[in-house]
Amino acid sequence: MLAASRNGGSRRAIPLPLDRPLEAREARGLLASVLLGVIEGALDPTTARTIGYLLQVERKIAEAGELERRITILEDAVQRGDGGACPR
């Protein structure tokens, strides 16, 4: 058993943007850091799983927001009568 697991892992903070969703490259970087932390024994696997889960939740929220934005654009286009033109 890893010493970090017994002790609850390290308590280093990772600064994250709180005012916007993570960009894909930021999420990949965070996952790479988490994996490295687990491999090196600096981060316990339970914490790593929690981070992975929260990143999945973040991704789903971002996807839902993008779908809402696109639906709004389509609904506006239909109301204006130019349903054939769909800006992205």
Q: Quick one: pLDDT at residue 15? A: 72
Write out pLDDT tens, residues 37-70. Answer: 999 999 999 999 999 999 999 999 989 999 999 9
Using 50, 70 and 90 to split pLDDT, how confident is the model at 2? very low
Q: Are 47 and 38 in contact (CB under 8 A)?
A: no
| pTM of structure | 0.66
Half-sphere exposure in the Cβ direction for 75 (13 Å, CA): 6
Using 50, 70 and 90 to split pLDDT, how confident is the model at 82? confident
Start-to-end CA span in the chain (Å): 50
